[in-house]
Structure 1
């Protein structure tokens, strides 16, 4: 290893992103604040700020008479902070159109010209001292078809609603006057068949860096573990966008999670002409590496550096994990250990906030899935937000990362390449997916050729992983299935064994399994309110119940495992009903993350926890002496059920199943006692009084004063004895004091048409079967925040939070 000068070593150890003169060499500045928003109109150019009338593209920078013009007065536009999903703010719209139904009955799409075009503007200034730097705007996700201008100069269009994009704005920056970004978002065309949101719904950033720099997503880090050490391979693409050729040095350092120096690659000299780029390949040896795993997700830091002489001119910090992944016909092996995939499919929306999730929500949702025992997440069916993968890296969740659709045209190949480059450094990503249920192409020669092109490009960009494709086909070896390395099954679970027999060397993965439909806390089919019973008894014709697919996957090594459809309820795709149902019933948890009963089936067989759970609730006034079917989900070997102290019998628990008793209803206490590996575990359900108060359960009590941190507060109705009242439906009002704001409310009711947020007026939400939820976002001032909840007939209750910490909005990578 080459010796490091003392001041450079200090810079590496402490992660500073400045050169020897104290100047910043690279900044990534959060650009979420200070935006203006207004609806346009897809049918009326006058209401669309003359877009389509004014000849914007005749001359560069020409923007007069439009909202693109810097002189345009946007004072009356709505002020907001990103991320922003305008669709979740709109009322529901009953429609016979199937696409509107599948998108959750929100008035977005070609049928709704007044609410399907959104304009965004942001004013900002840049100091003239930075006039020698390069600048770029990074958008992590806009739904969809976004056109971007800076100071009237057109930067281009990004069609994808999911893959982020970056645009260089160096030539258009005004260092002496105010700059204006304008973004026109066109959501008239859907991409998926589910709720997608609308607007700039992910984070935005201003990037500042040197003319000689690492290109966007141009550093690829991967590793190979041998015996007691690991070789960390670094491929860095460097570009010189200066006006003359220069000589540089490129090196890379590895730090542990605490910033301690581990090793360095040798410096490599490179001469780049103006406009030239080159990829440098280097290696760093790491002795006795701590391997990233589901149980211990250890993350190192890679610090690639460009120097000119002794001066650092660019530097990044990239979190990565050292681990090995092998996908074989007899299983997935992480660091040589067999891992059965216990996964969930998920869309990206959450109750109250739609698709515009604060970063914290990604960690919250992944944490809920981990608690259930899940170890894998499929990004169904599109590029994920970066913070989702950060959460999976940090918490230990494998990821099946999926392309939006199967297409090798220049547009979609570009999206595929950006997806892989953006996500390939994440240790959580163990497998790529090139598409999902492409019925028009999956069995013909078009699909086969497209797949071959995508697979070849995937191997070029990331030779360390392989790919699958999610096919809704039975034992069919034709088209895409002929060439894809890992055969994905969407349902058709009873055909997997036959397919394996015919193709024993091809790994098999359940890419979509299950799809039981349930409504939390409901125990009778209700066609009026569009509810289905909260037990594993109802599935669409094309799907299966939990106990039909999981035993097959659990007991056969030729199943790599599978992904349930879905971990959470999501907006759109109402099944098996239509209006008033506006949300799916597929989730193991509802849209708030409240567990349904099927959650405890999976937790019993997916986790190492002691699990014993009784359903339904035990409030059945008017059904005295009538038989009630009681389910017990547990991983105990035997379970005994008691009613008011009287035994109703002990039963052996079948592997990967549940137990049932028919119990004549009597008010009182229903108790289950289980024995697992010699340990006694128990739970009970009691007949309750009416609700008298609420239990407030915040996900945390300290928030960062950065204007972005968030907290989830869950509410549960209880009676005077503190027992959960599972049938309460009280209307709850919320009042917040301090520097914070409520950004969404929900209750998990898939047929509720209540508002998700309140841009004006009082915040409120009804309990649904005893529960509801509010999401709060911190401000920038340290201090205390108090949430008070009131409801007629319930005691007033409150919870307080501390808002503290830095208000820094720049990430110095």
Structure 2
């Protein structure tokens, strides 16, 4: 059967469970391409022959690995983020007799205009800093010889490259560099097309779609698109296998062989019936594995594997349904930057961010304001976080070229991310931007063209016009109603709240409790080091706003935001995160954690919890707030019961899943506060707060958050200033010096001052497994040491 471009090849359904005896290893490979790069910046920007030779160079090239950022950026500085032109180059060989002859390099992302050269010849320009691109180097590669790949990057302000707005006026930084991983792809000329590179509407790669979903059965549709780069027609067939989490085969289908013309694409449609499927949800994020193999004469010539979750979604006015059941979206926003490294972090670091969001009690995350790393989305799939995927944009609309690039971002985002079960909304809108109606129509249409299904596909935007779901920020309207009186028959989700439309400034609320707060203490922008009164105020701001959001028709909300971050237009840190920029939690983190459960979810999320939002030191107040997801809490002071009570009944807590518990102690006396949470009358969780004594020694720990340290990883290391009993001194600001042995690199100011008793350093692991020995020292304190195993 002949196949021209876009020809549909229909596959026969099969449930064979015995592997074919002709199975062999596929003649295709995706190789790590992240090591042994060289980098230079702030040099002559002209591309000359000398850049492609090792002997002559315009400056000293630094040896780097990917992901990489052009400059380590201080956390707080008067100096703006680095912008300019930089060069990356890599010398490599492709075996003359290896898999091939197709050779390509896939870049996860490059900020934000990339010109790619091989052996002195320019091959491609890519515009846009957040989505992947692939460069086919088959014809220019010298097989068996040394090649030089050169990438010229430009991250200067550019009004045609979304987000488009000059950095000095932007609410976030976009950094620079080859900041996501790269792969060298060696494959047969007949291969599974890359969904983004192919540039085909609803085509390229693998496209998964479910129908008729129920606890009894579900139908999985698998579309595979092949690309034939050979000069002659190729004949192949597709075999698709579905595996459960244990690796057991639960379905298989093998299509009939079909012919694909040279330079063309062939599209294969297959389907599998899953009996009694395990449905994907935030509490039980069950993932199947889909394995697609390309067979020619019985031999595997290409293979792709992806995870998938069986789930149905439906947005309606006043409700969101997951697998037919109503679910309130309890969300947050996330910027992907790290201190010092910007965007250039490991896949494990991406996973740890998702873990922390889940740990904080959220079931939903908005990717503000650009598409995140695929590793972050995979973590959301695995951990059970619903996602709003977003295109780059913030308060800027440019010319026609900008609009074309923005629409291309929409399509490329969907093509890259379309198979993630975690994604329930596509934000095909430029955030807080006055977009023309034709653009919004086109962006909405682009998503539905890329995903041409009658169900489970929803666009969203901050303007109430073309999109399926209206996602304004709460502060886009004013107190006291905000969007609580929204009356249209359209799904409404509040995608931002709690930042600067906060309790202490809202007319009509009782201000007596916080009448003495300074202006700086009344906002939700509170650094962790600003003290417990400020952190309590921030938590109350989020609580009040979240509680009030239940009074209207919104199907959920997402607070602003999860982690503190840096802005392009300001030198300080935007500090309305429920955790700081080093991922250390504030009181508000525990308020949100108390809104989840108690449930028996995976990885321990949602278990019974209790947290005392006080440092219990002489400056603490007699009023003590305790967060818990249990029915009752008993508070004890130095072994004596203060009270055992049920949750608060106030106008700022009357709609919450779990209101806080507010206690009044007789006096602030040194000692131990102990909280015991009860569920069904039985103790379910306990916690303590001890009055800190004199600083005595340091304690070291590193942030695992569900993932052990790996080679080429980056993770946070924390040194706490503690008293003799191990209690953190929340006002300590000692200068701590870190040291590491074992092939690791410390990134950050060193020494660094503790904030709220904790000093933080980034640890970048080396190329090999082993053990890293960490030490931390400070004047007048006993030192600490810690061994970090690298697997």
User: What range is the shorter-chain TM-score in?
Assistant: 0.7 to 0.9
For residue 221 of structure 1, the aligned residue among 180, 195, 208 is 208
- 1:37-57 Cα deviation digits (max 9, x unpaired): 1113xxxxxx32535xxxxxx
Change (3 A) 1:409 1:782: closer
Cα drift, residue 75 of structure 1? 8.3
Cα distance in 2 for partners of 1:84, 1:712 equals 17
* Alignment-derived partner of residue 80 in structure 2: 106
- From 732, 738, 741, the counterpart of 2:736: 732
Q: Which residue of 2 aligns with 1:572?
A: 567
SS in 1 for 2:595: helix
1:787 paired with 2:774, answer yes
1:614 positional shift: 2.8
Q: 1:650 to 1:36 in 2, by over 3 A?
A: same
Query: Are the structure 2 counterparts of residues 273 and 638 from structure 1 closer, same or farther at C-alpha, using a change threshold of 3 Å?
Result: closer
Inter-CA distance 389–10: structure 2 relative to 1 (3 Å threshold): farther
Distance 1:72 1:322 in 2: 56
Q: 1:544 to 1:705 in 2, by over 3 A?
A: closer
Match of 2:372 among 362, 381, 384: 384
Taking a change above 3 Å as real, the CA distance of residues 74 and 28 of structure 1, as seen in their structure-2 partners, is farther
1:83 is aligned to 2:74: no
Query: Which residue of 2 is the match for residue 707 of structure 1?
Result: 711
CA distance in 1, matches of 2:597, 2:759: 27
1:509 aligns with 2:521: no
Calculate the TM-score normalised by the size of structure 1: 0.80
Aligned counterpart in structure 2 of residue 8 of structure 1, from 20, 27, 39: 20
The equivalent residue for 2:783 is 796
Residue 698 in structure 1 maps to residue 713 in structure 2 = no
Tell me by how many angstroms 1:705 deviates.
9.1
**In structure 1, the residue corresponding to 2:494 is in which secondary structure?**
strand
1:142 corresponds to 2:117: no
Question: Residue 278 of structure 2: SS of its match in structure 1?
Answer: coil
- Residue of structure 1 equivalent to 2:617: 619
RMSD after superposition: 3.3
Greater shift, 368-377 or 627-636, is seen at 627-636
1:590 aligns with 2:580: yes
Residue 664 (structure 1) shift: 5.5
Relative to the length of structure 2, the TM-score reads 0.82
> What is aligned with 2:258?
270
Does the CA contact (< 8 Å) of 2:75 and 2:340 recur in 1?
no
Tell me the equivalent position of 1:54.
none
Q: CA deviation at 1:70?
A: 7.2
- In 2, the alpha carbon distance for the partners of 1:665 and 1:365 equals 37
2:225 and 2:268 in contact (8 A); partners too: yes
CA distance in structure 2 between the aligned counterparts of 1:741 and 1:502, rounded to whole angstroms: 53
The alpha carbon displacement at 1:796 in A equals 2.1
- C-alpha distance after superposition, 1:604-653 (max 9, x if no partner): 22342444333332333xx6xx9665433344555565655676666652
With over 3 angstroms needed to count, the CA separation of the structure-2 counterparts of 1:639 and 1:285, relative to structure 1, is closer
- Structure 1 residue 489 and structure 2 residue 467: aligned? no
Q: Relative to 1, partners in 2 of residues 1:148 and 1:339: Cα closer, same or farther, differing over 3 Å? A: same
**8 Å contact from structure 2 (residues 28, 99) kept in 1:** no
1:559 equivalent among 542, 554, 559: 554
Aligned mates of 1:436, 1:679 — CA distance in 2? 50
Q: Which of 328, 343, 368 is 2:356 aligned to?
A: 368
Q: Give the conservation status (yes or no) of the 8 Å contact 1:151–1:179.
A: yes
Sort the Cα spacing of 1:499 and 1:693 in 2 relative to 1 into closer, same or farther, 3 A.
Answer: closer
The within-5 A match list for 1:109-124 is: 109=83, 116-124=84-92
Between the aligned partners of 1:544 and 1:671, the Cα distance in structure 2 is: 22
Inter-CA distance 497–89: structure 2 relative to 1 (3 Å threshold): closer
User: Contact 2:582–2:716 at 8 Å: present in 1 too?
Assistant: no
Cα distance in 2 for partners of 1:314, 1:289 equals: 28
In structure 1, what is the equivalent of residue 8 of structure 2?
A: none
* Corresponding position: 1:130 with 2:98: yes
SS in 2 for 1:722: coil
Contact between 1:526 and 1:532, CA under 8 Å: does it hold in 2? Answer: no
The offset of 1:502, in angstroms, is: 5.7
Match of 2:298 among 285, 303, 310: 310
Cα displacement string for residues 224-265 of structure 1 (whole angstroms, at most 9, x for unaligned residues): 224522211011111111011222222322122333222222
Q: Per-residue displacement from partner, 1:197-226 (whole Å, max 9, x unpaired)?
A: 211111111111110111102210122224
Partners of 1:255 and 1:683 in 2: how far apart? 42
Note if contact 1:696-1:799 (Cα within 8 Å) is conserved in structure 2. Answer: yes
> Following the alignment from structure 2 to structure 1, what is the Cα–Cα distance between the partners of residues 117 and 320?
46
Deviates more, 1:251-260 or 1:146-155: 251-260
- Residue of structure 2 aligned with 1:419, choices 413, 419, 430: 413
How far apart, CA to CA, are the structure 2 residues paired with 1:602 and 1:588?
9
Counting only pairs closer than 5 Å after superposition, residues 84-483 of structure 1 correspond to structure 2 as 84-89=68-73, 93-94=77-78, 105-109=79-83, 116-130=84-98, 132-189=100-157, 191=163, 192-217=170-195, 218-224=205-211, 225-226=213-214, 228-405=216-393, 409-441=403-435, 446=436, 448-462=437-451, 463=453, 464-471=455-462, 480-483=463-466
Q: Distance in 2 between matches of 1:368 and 1:318?
A: 24
Contact 1:25 1:209 in 2 (8 A): yes
Q: How do residues 739-758 of structure 1 correspond to structure 2 at under 5 angstroms?
A: 739-742=743-746, 744-745=747-748, 755=749
**SS of corresponding position for 1:605:** coil
> Cα distance 1:33–1:720, how it changes in 2: closer, same or farther (>3 A)?
same
The aligned counterpart of 1:807 is none
Give the Cα separation in 1 of the matches to 2:317 and 2:22.
48
Q: In 2, Cα distance between the equivalents of 1:517 and 1:719? A: 39
Q: Tell me how far apart the structure 1 counterparts of residues 642 and 59 of structure 2 sit (CA, whole Å).
A: 70
CA contact (8 A) 1:85 1:198 kept: yes
Structure-2 residue corresponding to 1:25: 27
Assess, with a 3 A threshold, how the Cα gap between structure 1 residues 729 and 117 changes in structure 2: closer, same or farther: same
Residues 627 and 663 in structure 1, CA contact (< 8 A), matched pair in contact too: no
SS class of match (2:236): strand
Q: Which stretch of structure 1 is more off in the superposition, 269-278 or 185-194?
A: 185-194
- Where in structure 1 are there 5+ consecutive unaligned residues? 12-19, 41-46, 52-62, 95-104, 110-115, 472-479, 746-754, 756-762, 805-813
Selected match of 1:678 from 676, 681, 702: 681
